[in-house]
Structure 1
Amino acid sequence: MSGLPDLESLRLLVRVAELGSLGQAARALGMTQPSATKRLASLERRAGLPLLVRTPRGSGLTNDGRVVVDWSMRLLEAADEFQASLTALREARAAQLRVAASMTVAEALLPGWLHKLGLREPDVRVGLTVVNSAEVARLLLAGETIDVGFVEGPSVPAGLGQRPVGHDELIVVVAPRHPWARRRRPLQASELAATRLVVREVGSGTRDTLELALRRLDPVPAHLALGSNAAVKGAAMAGSAPAVLSRYAVEAELAAGQLVAVPVVDLSLMRTLRAVWPRGRRLTGAATALLRVIEVSGGPERVRRAGRSARTGRSG
C-alpha cells in the first residue's frame, strides 16, 4: 500500500467485518452501496491484497482481510483519540485566559479574583505566569501570548493600555530582635534612606516604588537584592537587615510575630496596582470577564479599604 491509508475506507472495512454485509456497513456509515463497493475495491488495489470474499449470503474477510481489520481498528482508535484531543485543545484554547502577574498581585489578589471568575465562568481555563512588573510589560510588548497582565510599579511603559485594579502600601519590617522593633518613635525618611536594606530585584514594582520614594534623599546601596517576596522576608526574619515589602506580602508574618512593622514619617509608599495590555488591542472574552469580576469585587477602592483595616485592626 503506497501512501497513507484512507481512514474512511478502513472504517468501512471494519464495519463489514462487524456486520457481515457490505450493504449494512454502507448504511451504517451513511454511504450508498455502489460508493462503498468502489471504496473497498480501491482499498484492495492499493493494498495489493484481496481483503473480502463476496458471496450471495454477504461479505466475509479473507485471512489477509482479518489481519488488516485488526490493524485498522488500532489505527482508527488512535485517529479518533487524536481528533478528540485536537477538539479538546481547540476548545481549551478558545476558553483559556493567559495571565502574567507581578508577584504581589499573583500571591495576594489573583487567587480570590480567579476563584470568583471560576464561579461566573466555570469553563475558563487560566494559565498564570508570575514574574516581576518589568517582565510582565516586556512579555506584553514583545507580543507574547498573554491576554492581560498585572503590574505594581509606579508607572506603566508606553505602548500599554492600563486600568487600576487596586491600591497597595509598602511597609518597613524587621525581625523582632532588631533595634527598630523596639522604637517608640516612627522612623524618619532620612533614616531609612541611610540604612542598607533588603529589597527586591531590579525590575520589581516594589523596588521601583521604593526607589522613587527615596530618590530625593540619595539612599545608600541595598544590603541585599533578592528575586522574590519570600526570599526578602526570609532575610529580614534572619536579622540580615530591615526590608521593605508590600503589606500584603507580610501579613502572615506580622500576625505570627515573626516580623515587626516599623512606621515611617514623611514618606509615601502607596502605589496603584494595574491591569495592563498592549495599547490598541481590545480586551475580549475571559480577560474582559476577569476585569469585570475585579470591578464587581470593589476594584481599587475596596482593596484600599482592606489595607486600611489591616493597619488599624478594624473589620470592613
Structure 2
Amino acid sequence: MTDPVPAVPLSHRVPDLGALELLLAVARLGSLGRAARETGISQPAASSRIRSMERQLGVALVDRSPRGSRLTDAGTLVTDWARRVVEAAEAFDAGAQALRGRRDSRLRVAASMTIAEYLLPRWLIALRRERPDTAVSLHAGNSLAVAERLLAHEADLGFVEGLATPDGLDSAVIGHDRLLVVTAPGHPWAHRRTPLDPAELARTPLILRETGSGTRQVLDAGLTPYGGLADPLLELASTTALKAAAVSGAGPCVLSELAVVDELAAHRLVSVPVAGIRLRRDLRAVWPTGSRPAGPARDLLSLTRGTSR
C-alpha cells in the first residue's frame, strides 16, 4: 500500500480572497477607482492592496495610467487563476450556508421529566418567536436517558437535574431546584409539629422515581449517611404518576418544588419539612464534550439562563 502524500501548507505568497476579488474587479472594470467602490474600500486602500499583492507574488499585476488601469501579462494570467479560486470559494460558502440552513431547520431536545414538563414549554414558546421556521422535537426521559441520546447524536441539546454532569458531556448550570417531601393531607406526616428526621425518611418506603432520574440521584445521596433509601413503596416513571399516587394517599413522595406548586396551593398535598439534609439540585443544560451548542441550540440555551427556585 502506497503511503499517502503529506499535505503541503499553502505558501505565504498566496494572496487572500479579498485581494483576489479586487484584482478581478480591476480586470472587469478597467479602473482601480471603480473596483475600489465596488468592493467597498477607498481608492488609496485599493492601491495599497494591489501593491502588497504584487510584492507578495514578486510580479507586477497592474499598469496604472491617467486613462485607467490595465492588467500586465502576468496580471492577466494571475486573474485567470484568481477567478477559479474565487469561484471555488463561492461554492464552498454556498455549501456552508446550506449546511447551516439544514442545521437551523430543526432542533432535537432531550430533557429530564421535570424540566420537560414545567420549564421547557415557555422556553420553546420564546424560541418559536425568535426562530419560527425551526422545527423542534422534544424527547422526555430521565437524566440517564438524556445523556444516552446526546452521546448517540440523537439530540442537539439536553437538560438534566442531578448532582453532577453525566460522563462524556459538557454542561452549564442554568438554575436550581428544591426537592420536597409531600404527602396527602390525611397522612400522619402532614400534621407533624417538628421537621422530619432524615433517618426516619430513609427507612420509610416512599413513592419514588426510577433509578437514573435526577430526583432519585439527589435523594439517594442525601440519605446515604442515614442508611440509604428503603425499598420503594412504588416506583413510577413520571412526575404526573407520582403526584397522582401521593394525592390519592398511597404514601409520601419526593418531588420537585416546580411540580407541586398547584397541589400545595390547593391543599391536595402538604409539604413536610426535613431537618439536616439539603435536597437542592442544579438544573443543567448538557451537550457532548467538545461541541458547543450552535444555531437554534445556542439560542435555546440563552433563553434558559437564570432559572431558579
Same fold (TM over 0.5): yes
SS of aligned partner of 1:284: coil
SS of aligned partner of 2:180: strand
Partner of 1:71: none
Give deviations 1:23-54, integer Å, cap 9, x for gaps.
xxxxxxxxxxxxxxxxxxxxxxxxxxxxxxxx
The one-letter amino acid of 1:223's match is: L
1:235 aligns with 2:215: no
Partner of 1:261: 271
Tell me how far 1:185 sits from its aligned partner. 1.0
Partner of 1:278: 288
Structure 2 segments unaligned to the other structure (5+ residues): 1-99
Partner of 2:226: 217
- Could you say if the C-alpha distance between residues 106 and 263 of structure 1 is closer, same or farther in structure 2, counting changes exceeding 3 Å? same
Q: Distance in 2 between matches of 1:207 and 1:294?
A: 23
Tell me how far 1:123 sits from its aligned partner. 2.1
Q: Does the 8 A contact of 1:92 with 1:125 survive in 2?
A: no
Tell me how far 1:91 sits from its aligned partner. 6.3
The one-letter amino acid of 2:275's match is: V
SS of aligned partner of 2:162: coil
Q: Indicate the percent of aligned positions where both proteins have the same amino acid.
A: 51
Partner of 1:153: 162
1:172 aligns with 2:181: yes
Q: Does the 8 A contact of 1:104 with 1:248 survive in 2?
A: yes
Structure 1 segments unaligned to the other structure (5+ residues): 1-89, 308-316
SS of aligned partner of 2:174: strand
TM-score, with normalisation over the residues of structure 1? 0.64
The one-letter amino acid of 2:122's match is: G
Matches within 5 A, 1:1-316: 94-144=104-154, 146-219=155-228, 220-295=230-305, 299=306, 303-304=307-308, 307=309
Tell me how far 1:115 sits from its aligned partner. 1.4
Tell me how far 1:277 sits from its aligned partner. 0.6
Give deviations 1:108-155, integer Å, cap 9, x for gaps.
1111111111222222221101111100001111232x1100000211
Tell me how far 1:282 sits from its aligned partner. 2.5
Tell me how far 1:248 sits from its aligned partner. 0.7
Q: Distance in 2 between matches of 1:292 and 1:93?
A: 18
SS of aligned partner of 2:260: helix
Tell me how far 1:198 sits from its aligned partner. 0.5
SS of aligned partner of 2:211: coil
Q: Does the 8 A contact of 2:156 with 2:287 survive in 1?
A: yes
SS of aligned partner of 1:152: strand
Give deviations 1:146-188, integer Å, cap 9, x for gaps.
1100000211222101011110000000001001111111111
Q: Does the 8 A contact of 2:215 with 2:255 survive in 1?
A: yes
The one-letter amino acid of 1:191's match is: E
